[in-house]
Structure formats: structure tokens, C-alpha cells
Chains A and B, each alone.
Chain A
Amino acid sequence: MTAPVTIRIQQTDFDVAREIAALTNDRTDIGAVVSFSGICRGSEGNDPIAALTLEHYPGMAEAEIKRHADEAMARWPLDGLTVIHRFGRIEPGENIVLVVTASKHRQAAFQAAEFLMDYLKTSAPFWKREESAGRTGWVEAREHDDTAAARWSKS
């Protein structure tokens, strides 16, 4: 059967356990599931964060994640993957992003999940705006995220 690939961009929260179950239910060929959840922190260094607001580029966000999901499916022997990214206002403790990868063995699931997260950080068109103590500002991109994504490039 074709491995299921699910990509959702949504404002509402998601249920991690339900998303894992959706990939594995009624299957006995999957031996490993890796899930990564990105969660809104309540502080950045010593500065408290009241909330994040995520802006995204509808249409391109789905297309860009699909391109990397297809690449992950081609590079690793996956039996399914799910990527969910939220947008809108998100408070500390709330989910932001979910990547779930399923495979026969753990290495492919771990590596594909990390690959997808590294590319979500640097090439999926989302932008975080931070609210704290009465002021707001756009979160700046980090160089180490670019470095993390670059190590997956084939030389």
C-alpha cells in the first residue's frame, strides 16, 4: 500500500496520541513511530513570553511542507508521515507543530522527523510574532537553524 502522507495547516490544536494512532491503527508492519511536538515556551532567556502569533503564507505553506515530505518519503523507508503546523495566537504550553514518522525500524523514523523539523524551521513560510510585557516584535531567524537544515543537503 502507499504510505499515507498527511499535511495540515490549522488554527486549532491537535491531539498527539490521536495523530499517532491514525498512522498505526490496523497495521502490523510498522515497528517504529517518532513524534516531535513543538510547544510554545513561556520565556526566551530571561524574558517572559505572553503569547506567540504565527503568520503564514496560505498555499505556499502546504506546498513547501509537501515538497519536504515527498523528499523524506524518497530518502527513508517510511510507512507514513504526518505534519501539522498551527497558525494564529498560541499561548505558552500550547502546541505549535507536530511531526510524526512511521517506519519498520527506528533509524529512518528518527532521521526523517529531524530532517522535516529542520526544514520546517528554515523554509516553511511561517513567521512568529512574540508578545511580552506590553510589547510585541517579530522573532528573528537563527543562524543555527540554517546550519541544522544545511547538513541534510546532498553534496
Chain B
Amino acid sequence: MKVKYFAWVRERVGKAEELVEPPASVRTVGELIAWLAKRDEAYAHAFETPRVIRAAIDHAHVKPDAAIAGAREIAFFPPMTGG
């Protein structure tokens, strides 16, 4: 699946998007965050406070317990500050 990062999450991870293949045991958005955080120091820094990370699946906001099965694109970003 494609994963996208925005704002300081993007800066900390060091890339705007990538393809990832998490193991089958990673079933929810929250589990995906935990799995990504273990990749290396950059990811650990980006996801060090999971409760502030917002997520979207296929352009719609989701909660950490949302299932990732069937997702084409998952995005992670900080709380929004537009308007």
C-alpha cells in the first residue's frame, strides 16, 4: 500500500510517500504506526507521540482502530492548521 506523510511527519520521516508491505499481523492504523515507528530513528521520531498523529485512508479521516485491509493510500499527518 502507498503511505503518504505531511508537514512535520513528512520532514521527520524524510520522504513524502513510499510503498510499504506490513506483515499480516498489522491490521489497524494504530498497529501500522507502531510498526513504522520501529523501522529506524527517523520513523521513531516522527511517530514518538502516536496520540497526536492523525490518519486518513483513501482521502477520509480515520481513527487508530480503523482496519487497513483494502486501503490503497494511507496518510499520516499532524493536527490540521488550515483555514
Q: A residues engaging B (CB < 8 A)?
A: 38, 54-57, 59-60, 63-64, 85, 96-97, 117, 120-129, 138-141, 145
Any A CB within 8 A of the CB of B71: no
Q: A57-B6, A63-B60, A138-B8 are in contact. Are A121 and B78 (CB under 8 A)?
A: no
In this complex, what residue of B is CB-closest to A54? Answer: B82
CB distance from A54 to the nearest CB of B (A): 7
Query: What are 10 sample pairs from A and B whose C-beta atoms fall under 8 A apart?
Result: A96-B83, A97-B83, A117-B83, A121-B81, A121-B82, A128-B82, A138-B8, A138-B78, A141-B79, A141-B80
CA distance A122 to B77 in the complex (A): 13
Which residues in chain B, 1-20, are within 8 Å of chain A measured between CB atoms?
4, 6-8
CA distance A97 to B4 in the complex (A): 24
CA distance A64 to B82 in the complex (A): 12
On chain B, the residues within 8 Å of A123 by CB distance are 61, 80
> Do B82 and A85 have beta carbons less than 8 Å apart?
yes
Q: Pick the contact of B75: A57, A120, A126, A141 (CB < 8 A).
A: A57
